[in-house]
Amino acid sequence: MRKAIILFAAMLALFTGQAMAQRCLPGMSAVEVKANMADGFYTGNSRNCGYSFGVYYSVFKGNANTWTFGGEYLQTYKRYGEKGRIPVAEFTGEVGYNLHLLSDYSQTFH
């Protein structure tokens, strides 16, 4: 019960008020690192779950325009026969430019 009260108090502290973490000023950059589970959640007994890792880099230009560069690696396993499995790997690369066309003043909507 005590843990639930502490968690509830932390959620109230985090979600009340207003906090701006990313200002998107010209010349700023951001790095995003991702790690995910694919095909279910690994419990120690499951051999058929996969995983993915990704790294993305963003550079903010003037007028809320953004360049994005990144890559991701996905490893999954496909069933084969009774107890066999075949590993399948996928590499994905991304390069993009986000052109600002329409948004509100606080840039909540793009």
The arrangement of strands across the sheet holding 66-80 comes to: 29-38, 50-60, 66-80, 84-98
If one compares 42 and 5, the residue with the highest pLDDT of the two is 5
Determine the structural domain holding residue 44 and report its residue range: 23-110
> What is the DSSP annotation of 12-53?
HHHHSS--------TT-EEEEEEEEEESS---SS-SS-EEEE
Q: Is residue 31 a part of any domain in this protein?
A: yes
Q: Is residue 108 a part of any domain in this protein?
A: yes
Q: Are 73 and 53 in contact (CB under 8 A)?
A: yes
Q: Is residue 94 a part of any domain in this protein?
A: yes
Q: Does the pLDDT of residue 43 top 70, yes or no?
A: no
The structural domain count of the chain equals 1
Q: Does the pLDDT of residue 65 top 80, yes or no?
A: yes
Q: Is residue 36 a part of any domain in this protein?
A: yes
If one compares 55 and 45, the residue with the highest pLDDT of the two is 55
Q: Is residue 13 a part of any domain in this protein?
A: no
For 2-20, write each residue's pLDDT tens digit: 888 888 777 776 666 555 5
pTM of this prediction exceeds 0.85: no
